[in-house]
Structure formats: C-alpha cells, structure tokens
Amino acid sequence: MTIRPHPAPWHVLLGLLHDERGPLLTAVSVAVAAALFELLPYWLLYQSIVLVLSGTQVADGLTRLAGWMAVVLVAKYGLYSIAYYLSHRAAYQVLANLRRDLARRLVWAPLTWLQGYSSGKLKKIVMQDVERLEQFIAHHSVECMAALAGPLFVALLLIWLDWRLALAALAVVPLAALAQGLFMRGMSERIGDFDSAVGELSGATVEYVRNIPVMKAFRQEAGSFRRMRSVLDRYQNLIAAVIRRTVPGWSVFTVLLGANIFFILPTGAWLMSHGALSLPDLILAVMLGTGMLKPLFKVARLSSEIREILGSMRRIAPFLAWPPPVPRSPVALPATPAVGFNAVSFAYDDTPVLRDLSFELPPGKLTAMVGPSGAGKSTVAHLLGGLARPQQGTIRLGGISLDILDESQRASLISVATQESFLFRGTLMENLQLACPEADEATVRQAARVAQADAFISALPEGYGTRVGERGGRLSGGERQRIAIARALLADTPVLVLDEATAFADSLTERAFYEALHEAYPHKTLLVIAHRLYTIEQADQVLVMESGRLVDAGRHGELLARCGLYQRLWHRQSVGESWTIGKEELVDAGIS
C-alpha cells in the first residue's frame, strides 16, 4: 500500500467543507443581510436628526422611527440566529465526519508509519487540530463575512454622501495593513515552531501521566522528569517570543484602524463649510465612519488564526491521503493452510530488519522462533498480522499471496497476540468479544479456560462483567496477557501467532496453556516467538533467527547437535532456569 501525495492545506480545508457548502453559503449570505441591518439603526437615527431639525411633526415621526428601530433590531437578531445556527450545525457535522474519517484512516495506515507519531502528537491531531475547525466554521465564517460586508456598506453610503468622505474614512487602511505586515513578518515559521512545541508538550504530558506510578515509586517530582521540563521551557520561550513580536504590531494596527476620525472630521467640516454637506450628513458620516473599520479586527484575527488552521490541515493531510483497502473477492483456501515466507526483506526507514527470509510453517503444527534481541522475530509477527508489508518477497498462505487477500479475509485466517496486550475501558466480556462479537458466554469461557484466564476472572466479584480501566490498569501484566490470548483464540483463525504472549506467565501457567491449547485446537497452525524451554522442546519445528536471517531450522535435538547459535541460546536459557541467589556469578540468561 502506497500513500498518495499530500494535498495542499487549502485543498484539504475546502474538501472538508464541500459536503456542507449549502448550509455554509446560506449562513454567510444571511450574515451579509444581518450586516446591512446593523447599519439601519444609524440610518433611522439620521432620519430622526433630520426630523428634529425640520421641526415638523416631531413626536409622531419619532414614534414611527422608534417602531422601525424595534423591527430592525428584532430582524437583526433573527438573521444572526439563523446564520449561527446553520454555521454551527455545519461545523459539528464537519467535525464528526472528519473524526470518523480519521478513525478509518488510522486503521488503514500501516503500523510502521503510525509509530513515527507519539501518542501525544496523535492526540493533538485527532482532538485539537480537528477542534480548531469549529471556531473557523461556526464563528469566523459568519463573523468575518459580516465584518467585511459592514465596512463595504458604509463605504458605499459615504460615497453616496461624498466620495471624499469615503477616501478620508479609508485613508488609514493602507497604513494599518503596512504596520501589520511589518510586525508579522516571519510569523509563519514561529507558528510552525509553536505547533511543534505543542505536539511535543502533549506527548511529554501523556508520557508523564502514564509514568506517574514510576515517579511515585522513586519519589520523583515533576522537575525530575527532564523531558517534561525541557519541553515546557521551549514552549514558554516560544510563547514569549511570539508575544514580543505580535503585541506591538497588534497595538499599532488597533490604534490606526480607530484613527480615521482625524481624517473624517476635518474633511466633513471642510465640505460643510463649502456647502457640499449638510449637518445631518456630517453627523451620519462621523457616526458610521469612525466605527466602520472596527469589524476588520475580526478579519485581522482570522488572518493570524488561519495560519494555525492551515497548519492543522497540513498535519491532518497525511492521514487523509491513505486510501481505503481495495475490496477483493474471498479466495478459497484449505481449512488448515500452510504459511510460507519467500525471500522476504523488510526495513524500518533505512534500517534493514529482515533480509531475504524464507521459511514455511507446516499446517497444524507448532513452530517456535528463537533468536537474540533484534533478530527480527517481532517483525515477522507484524508482517503476518498485516501491520506491515514486506518491501521485497512474498508471504503466502495456503500457496496464495497475502497481498491478494483483503484485510477482512486476512484477519479471519491469521490472528496475533503479543506481550503488549491492550484492553479497552469496559467489561472483561466486552474486551474478549472484540474478536468475535457474536460469541456466546460458553464460547468465551472456553477460550478463557484455554488461555488460563477463566479461574481468575471467575474469582472477581463481578466475574466477566468486571469493568477494567483503560489499558487494563486493574489487572496484572500476566492477567492482561491471558485476556489478550483468549481474545485471539476467540477469533478462531486457522493460524495463530504468539509473539512472546506468555512472557509474564510463570512456567507452570505457560505449560498448562500449551497443553490446553493443543487439546482444544489440535489442528491450529502455531507460530510461537518463544523464550522458555518447554515451548522450544515441544515444538514440531524451531526456527533460529539472527540479524534478520534464518540461521537454521529443525527440531530441538537436531539444533542442539549442529547449530552453534542455538546451543548458546539454549545454554543461557538453561542457566537462567537454574540460577539461584548466592555468591556465584550470574550469567545473562535471557532469550529475547
């Protein structure tokens, strides 16, 4: 699967708004009408001044104008209510659609690509970057359109009174724009640095919160968490730099936009002295002209915030570029298919992990894979589980390449359980049924018994209805692993991969698990990334890995007789099983 080129941020934003363009266009159109109704009270006040100065039927005229004023205010309220209702409804629909789309794309994206993002950065993209659209769509779309329409209507009215008044009112706009541009130079880079710092701070915060038990165990305070302290310092320095740069520019911009009274009043007085303008016209020009540019503050704020919004779109774009998996027709496979790796190579970025790897898992047999840390064993599990794709070579299931199977069929044929078991917030039953939602209680209990989990679950006060927190925090590591194994068994796939999935279990529990597994699922093809003697000894085949290559393959006794690496691993494991605390020198005994 290859990622498509990332679309430009503006294209991403417009694409997100496309489905809601009807309500949004209606909202901004209604906002323009509301902006016109913003000016009508000033026109009515102008009419009142004319009426008072004329001295004829003042009381009746003012009463009538007051009635129209009430109508205008009610109409303005109604128009803004309609505009904001439509824009908010569109905004939250866009947010809901985008979050659903991101959730799907996260499933489609390869795990190796996702691992380039920390949990804090992913949280920022899915939550904060998406949420930032709400202000833009729900508020800025309406307010900025009204803010642009208002000054335009005032300028047209001033032109109608006298074009020189309009020029006087707009004279400060070039100066304000120039000042804003001078002070905001280079802010795009600073905004990028700021967004990067926010992502790092979010990631460090998530890491810090997750490690609070460790911090408490060693009586450490927040200051001892160096990464958190470093990121906070960087964030604070960036905030200070942005404030130093933007506050003076914004202050000058604000003062200049409110300074057009110094141009309007002298111009209006001069025109009035030459008989080109009446007193009511001058009063109307001053009332409207002095406030005509204030709505542009909202437009200026949007111009700075749009950088952040486009930055959010730039971060979201790579996720939206992942295409959905191509639906394929189910391929007929034997009930117990063989699994084969044929010259498979794989690398993380530029670091090779698997090199020209070839082996076969006999159908219905137990294959153990051993090797030192970094040999590529977990990568084999990732490739079989569909979490990554080989750069070269082919993985076959029953003689059929995994590449021609769609994700649903692959998931129905191969399940993977790792030592990094993840449980969702909910009951144990809900976590177990994740692999097979239609499984009844008897089926769930059967899988739990094989995984050696039924006993401890039944001993809980609420049994299978016991609620667990996020990541299964209420359970021990071994208990979480047994739940994950039971979940994998419930998937009822013909091929099961256990990537050190029993690492936290004691030897007796692991032995009981494999005996129950063989009895309950005698025809299942098993690949066990092993670290204990019992698993290795009982395997029908042992694969020995080193540096991404297959060093040797055979049964336990055969490998002990001919494979030097296996002999060393076996020796270390044997020493590890028999060492005791004492004066003797301890030997590194792990097979990882």
- What does the pLDDT look like over 215-257, one tens digit per residue? 665 555 555 566 667 777 777 777 777 777 677 766 777 777 7
Percent of the chain with pLDDT over 90: 14
More confident position, 1 or 360: 360
What pLDDT score was predicted for residue 221? 59
In the predicted model, what is the mean pLDDT of residues 201-226?
62
Least confident of 53-62, 201-210, 374-383, 537-546: 201-210
Token digits for 481?
């692993």
What pLDDT score was predicted for residue 302? 75
555 and 542 in contact (C-beta within 8 Å)?
A: yes
For residue 30, pLDDT over 90 is answered with yes
422 and 111 in contact (C-beta within 8 Å)?
A: no
Number of H helices, E strands in the chain: 25, 12
Q: How confident is the model at residue 26 (pLDDT cuts 50, 70, 90)?
A: very high
Residue 30: which of 97, 94, 96, 90 has the closest Cα? 90
Q: Residue for token digits 């769930």?
A: 444
What pLDDT score was predicted for residue 385? 84
What pLDDT score was predicted for residue 591? 44
**Mean of per-residue pLDDT scores for the chain:** 81
What pLDDT score was predicted for residue 158? 86
Question: What amino acid occupies position 316?
Answer: I
Distances (CA, A) of 300 to 9, 150, 243, 304, 305: 20, 15, 16, 7, 9
What pLDDT score was predicted for residue 1? 47
Token digits for 580?
């005791």
Q: Residue for token digits 């993002």?
A: 117
For residue 547, pLDDT over 80 is answered with yes
For residue 82, pLDDT over 90 is answered with yes
Long-range contacts (CB closer than 8 Å, 24 or more residues apart) made by 296-301: 296/147, 296/151, 296/173, 296/257, 297/147, 297/254, 297/257, 298/140, 298/143, 298/144, 298/147, 299/144, 299/147, 299/148, 300/180, 300/250, 300/253
What pLDDT score was predicted for residue 436? 84
Least confident of 45-59, 90-104, 132-146: 45-59
Q: In what order do the strands lie in the sheet with 549-554?
A: 414-418, 495-499, 525-529, 366-370, 541-546, 549-554
373 and 418 in contact (C-beta within 8 Å)?
A: no
Virtual torsion, Cα 250, 255, 260, 266, nearest 10 deg:
-160
Token digits for 567?
């002999």
What pLDDT score was predicted for residue 251? 75
What pLDDT score was predicted for residue 590? 42
Percent of the chain with pLDDT over 70: 82
What pLDDT score was predicted for residue 56? 74
What pLDDT score was predicted for residue 389? 83
SS3 108: helix
118-146 confidence digits (pLDDT tens):
777 787 788 888 888 888 888 888 888 88
549-590 confidence digits (pLDDT tens):
999 999 988 999 999 998 888 887 766 555 555 554 444 444
Beta-carbon-side half-sphere exposure of residue 94 (alpha carbons within 13 Å): 29
DSSP 8-state assignment for residue 473: T
Highest mean pLDDT among 208-222, 502-516, 541-555: 541-555
**How far is residue 33's CA from residue 39's CA, in Å, rounded to a whole number?**
10
What pLDDT score was predicted for residue 391? 87
204 and 228 in contact (C-beta within 8 Å)?
A: yes
Least confident of 39-53, 98-112, 503-517: 503-517
Strands 426-427 and 414-418: unpaired
Least confident of 124-128, 255-259, 427-431, 465-469: 255-259
320-335 confidence digits (pLDDT tens):
888 777 776 677 777 7
In the predicted model, what is the mean pLDDT of residues 253-282?
83
For residue 157, pLDDT over 60 is answered with yes
Q: In what order do the strands lie in the sheet with 339-348?
A: 351-361, 339-348, 392-397, 400-401
What pLDDT score was predicted for residue 208? 67
Long-range contacts (CB closer than 8 Å, 24 or more residues apart) made by 457-466: 457/428, 460/428, 462/427, 463/428, 464/427, 464/428, 464/429, 464/432, 465/427, 465/428, 465/429, 466/427, 466/428
| Residues forming a β-bridge with 467 | 427
